Amino acid sequence: MNITKEQIDELNAVVKVAITKEDYQDRVDGILKDYRKSANIPGFRKGHVPMGLIKKQYGKAVLVDEVNKLLQDNLNKYLTEEKLDVLGNPLPKQQDNFDWDKEELSFEFELGLAPSFEVPLETKDPITQYKIIADKEMVDEQVKRIQKQYGKLVNQEEVDKNFEVTGTFKNEAEEIDNKTTLELDKIKSKKAIDSLLGKKVGDTVSLKSKGLFKEDYLLSSVFGISQDKAKDLDIEADFTIEEINKRELATLDQELFDKLFGKDEVKSEDELKEKIKEDSEKQFEQQADQKLLNDITEYFIDNTSFELPTGFLTKWIQMTGEEQLTEQQANEEYEKSEKGLRYQLIEGKIIKENDLQIQLEELKEFAKGFIKSQMAQFGQLNPQEEELENIANRVLSNQDEVKRLSEQLMSQKLLDLYKEKVNLKTKQITYEDFVKEVYG
């Protein structure tokens, strides 16, 4: 077997493979002998079918199959040994009326080659790294939310401001029949509030859906309908009152602090606010980090210039899908995927040049951290190491989970590298202003 490469240009090459009978004949003959032993052909005893008949019936199919296996194995080996960085997979060049009976079989494969480029990590322009702070207003709101959540409901005779009213919404035309609880401090419509004030259990009031709440998303839950249906809904619905309650706020005392954070972890209202601020900013850090990673990714894509073997990649997309695409469809698919491909190449180069690797033990520790945070959400704050180890082993036995966690860990490694190398400028900002600035 002889394999040679013809370089077309920096991004395209053709590999030529010449195969002679000596390369495949022994393998073909061995398979045909096995076929002869088991062949069941009318008129012949099993194992006594003439080899000429076996070759006539199965020879060409076996030859094609074995040659294709040889091609695949040796072509992959050649690409590895020659350290050719290819995009996609080699594409066989079409050969009409191919003669499988020739003494030497010749095949050609088109290659798309990865471009050569540099990615300087010290960016020319500084990239904003947000530090999101929990301001006094946010902390005070969270304290009030905790007090409401852990407070108690006291039954009342008639509706007053800031009460909670449980009842059933009905509108026959829209098929609405849903029991819910209204918090008066979340209602925006003054007319609706005036309609409810002073009402008693058993009373029914008619409320307009449009502009009912300060937050539009609440409408779907109180009516028991989808967000899509609630979006432009403009109706009147009857609300029959079944229960009226006043929520008394929980006292900020040691019993509440211990319930929230464990015994003596927090001992005063000031410490509670500091803890809320600390925990909130830790959560905000994840959002800020994701924003930073996205911005650096976009910067590298926009500022790293290199050519791609567009013609080859378009043809590869056209030929290798589940269904063969038209040229126009392949061009459209390439345009959609080009940006992602560019970043894959950029990211791969950064990972290789900075020797970013993932070891099994650090992946397991990363998985344990993820599991621990999940358990904390359900109140399991101090799981045993043995329990974490067992869960992590189960998680890492699933290849899909291994892939997902590996990608997350590599993103964290890249982010750590970027924080060290990239030209950053820090901007301190409240969460509300961050949302406005980033998401509009």
Domain-wise residue ranges, the chain: 2-113, 152-248, 268-439
CATH number of the 268-439 domain = 1.10.3120
Mean pLDDT of the chain: 92
pLDDT, tens digit (0-9, with 9 covering 90-100), for 273-332? 999 999 899 989 999 999 999 999 999 999 999 999 999 999 999 988 788 889 999 999
> What is the mean pLDDT of the segment spanning 376-402?
85
- For 142, 147, 214, 244, 320, the CA distances from 152, given in Å and listed in that order, are 17, 9, 24, 13, 64
**Res. 379 pLDDT band, cuts 50 70 90:** low
Q: Give the CA distances from residue 170 to residues 42, 167, 195, 196, 208, in Å, rounded to whole numbers and listed in that order.
A: 79, 10, 16, 16, 12
Report yes or no: 228 and 194 within 8 Å, Cβ to Cβ: no
For residue 13, with 0-12 CB atoms within 10 Å meaning exposed, 13-18 middle and 19 or more buried, which class applies? buried
CATH level 2 (architecture), domain 152-248:
Roll (3.10)
Least confidently predicted of 66-70, 125-129, 259-263, 395-399? 259-263
Examine the pLDDT at 376 and tell me if it is beyond 80. no
Q: What angle do CA 84, 85, 88 make, to 5 degrees?
A: 115
As a whole number, mean pLDDT of residues 173-195 equals 94
d(CA 42, CA 62): 21
Q: Give Dmax over CA atoms of the chain in angstroms.
A: 103
- Domain 2-113 class in CATH: alpha beta
Please determine whether the domains at 2-113 and 268-439 fall in the same fold group of CATH. no
Does the pLDDT at position 77 exceed 90? yes
